[in-house]
Amino acid sequence: MALQTIDTTHRRDTEQTTNTPQTVLITQWKKKITIIIETQSTTGDGEIIMPTVQIEKQKTEISIPTTTPCNTTTSEYDMPRDDRWEFPRQSLTFGPTLGEGEFGKVVQAEARGILKPDAVTPVAVKMLKEDHLDAHMIALVSEVEVMKMIGKHDNILNLLGVCSQNGPLYVIVEFAQHNNLKDFLIKHRPSPEYSNVDKDVLSDKDLLTYAYQVAAGMEYLHSKKCIHRDLAARIRIF
């Protein structure tokens, strides 16, 4: 289906100065995101219903201090805040890029206080690139809402938080330190000579344990009426 590119440039016009000389009234166009979630009671079988995400362009007015730097950036989107998952973006420290596509990327980061107060946790942060379309934002917001509904389990990559206010959308998930299962298995397979000297070679018990963990994760998703549809060792799940 063809997608229409929508101009995301902010239009800001200083219309008037407020009564106090320390602030100025700014008019800007923003894209309001609305999330509609159908309750499970309407389906009757506990099935997860994909949320409906809508984007509507709206005109807003804000008052900002005259001392605000001219290069201060704001998000082009106005997203609803979910205090259960909102995480302060200033507590993120970004590292290397783990992977990227045409319109999005995943970056390794450290999140201070996301699991325990003052503790630093390695995480992966999914975000969109600047030239993304509204359709990509809708897809990312929908993904976040589904992860919220699925909940947490030891054998899936869990959602840890989101940064949705005053900047681009950041989706924070657990960091898979071994990348993916396929690369891990290749790295630790026996040598051609089948030598047992290498202590890192995986045993049959190890392989059965990994298979059990994958099955446990899929069983949990099934209990939530969710089908993965792309289960493979190459997926970053380990």
Q: Which residues are annotated as a binding site for ATP?
A: 126
pLDDT tens for residues 62-87? 777 777 665 555 678 999 999 999 99
pTM: 0.78
The domain locations on the chain are 12-175, 178-238
Which residues are the active-site residues?
230
Q: Coil, helix or strand for 212? A: helix
Domain 12-175, what fold?
Phosphorylase Kinase; domain 1 (3.30.200)
114 vs 24, more confident: 114
Residues 180, 237 contacting (CB under 8 angstroms): yes
Q: Which residues are annotated as a binding site?
A: 126
50 vs 4, more confident: 50
